[in-house]
Amino acid sequence: MEIERPKIDNIAFVASATEEAEAARRRLSHLYGSSPPDIADVIVALGGDGFILQTLRRFMNTGKPIYGMHRGTVGFLMNEFKVEGLLDRLAVAEVTSIRPLLMKAVDVQGVEHEARAFNEVSLWRRTYQAAKLKLSIDGVERLDDLVCDGVIVATPAGSTAYNLSAHGPIIPLNAPLLALTPISPFRPRRWRGALVPDRALIRIDVMDTQKRPVSAAADHTEIKNVKSVTVRQDRQSESFLMFDPEHNWEERILAEQFQY
């Protein structure tokens, strides 16, 4: 949902490890000044989508909004990079609240791992053999024999990323839904995924962990050789993204659906 714009007295500039992003950080810091992140009102993140996901996790639950500017490879979550007029852009930027997914994965040794994802939780086969998975929603078994390369649970923010590449649906940011999308499904052949409420508890069990090993990842946190994974929205955690009003999230979602 859209929230009240923050006051902007102090800006922190953070950048990915690329020279392009670091050069932009130095230039913007010289022009506008740069405060330490702990006292900043706004965090300006310079890089690509991967870096802004890291920044969202880093400042989760701090109340500090993140304004991304594209200095990386992929920039769907980023605003256009411009040096001039930054203060004016921040003053009118639209602020959107997003919540991450909470993944709990149990590996074949029985160890539980926990990670959060703003884009998606994904499972995929680790060998040449397809994975065999069982899917349950809120304790009700929905598919007992999904044979595929993997499966994705995507947030609205992540629905235009890996999920879209796997032919999953694009979800408006404010829709209370998650996309459950198979990767190269073999059986059942007609199943192309589902939309589930964002309050649902999704459980994925790996049916043959020795012969058909599977890895799981929450954004960039990977767990190998899992035997079960649960995914649900973490309603106790929250981050904030800022977008220029002429290219806000709703416009990006609409534009993406009319690409050809």
Is 209 found in the same domain as 177? Answer: yes
Transcribe 80-96 into DSSP letters.
Answer: PP-STTHHHHHHH-EEE
| pLDDT value of position 74 | 64
The C-alpha atoms of residue 112 and residue 106 are separated, in whole angstroms, by: 4
Query: Do 150 and 184 sit in the same domain of this protein?
Result: yes
Distance of alpha carbon 194 from alpha carbon 211, whole angstroms: 27
Q: Does 163 count as an annotated binding residue?
A: yes
Q: What is the CATH number of the domain that holds 189?
A: 2.60.200.30
pLDDT at 157: 85
Tokens of 194: 């589902």
First and final C-alpha spacing in the chain = 29
Residue 2: pLDDT above 60?
no
pLDDT over 90 at 229, yes or no = yes
Which pLDDT tens digit goes with each residue over 181-214?
999 999 998 899 999 999 999 999 999 999 999 9
Is 119 known as a binding-site position? yes
Cα 232 to Cα 113, 117, 218, 249: the distances in Å are: 14, 10, 12, 23
Look up the domain containing 194 and give its range: 101-233
Say what the pLDDT of residue 5 is. Answer: 61
Active-site entry in 9, 49, 205, 208: 49
Q: What pLDDT shows up at residue 249? A: 66
The C-alpha angle 172, 122, 192, rounded to 5 degrees, equals 65
- The predicted model gives 144-166 an average pLDDT of 93
In angstroms, the CA 215 to CA 115 distance is 14
Overall average pLDDT of the 237-247 stretch: 88
Confidence of residue 258 (pLDDT cuts 50, 70, 90): confident
More confident call, 173 vs 38: 38
For residues 105-113, average pLDDT? 97
Of 70 and 5, the one with more pLDDT: 70
Clarify whether residues 49 and 154 are in a common domain.
Answer: no
**Domain check: are 192 and 165 in the same one?**
yes
Is the per-residue pLDDT at 248 higher than 80? no
Q: Where are the alpha helices (DSSP H) in the chain?
A: 19-32, 49-58, 86-92, 162-165, 249-257
Higher pLDDT, residue 63 or 257: 63
Token pair in block for residue 14: 């953070």
Active site residue 49: yes
Does the pLDDT value for residue 257 go beyond 80? no
Alpha helices in 93-197 (DSSP H): 162-165
Q: Is the pLDDT of residue 140 over 60?
A: yes
Rounded mean pLDDT, 140-149: 96
Q: Is 72 annotated as a binding residue?
A: no
Known binding residue 162? Answer is yes
Same domain, 106 and 227: yes
Kindly report the CATH number assigned to the domain that includes residue 83. 3.40.50.10330
Overall number of domains in the chain:
2
**CA–CA dist 107, 255 (Å, integer):** 40
Residue 50: predicted pLDDT: 85
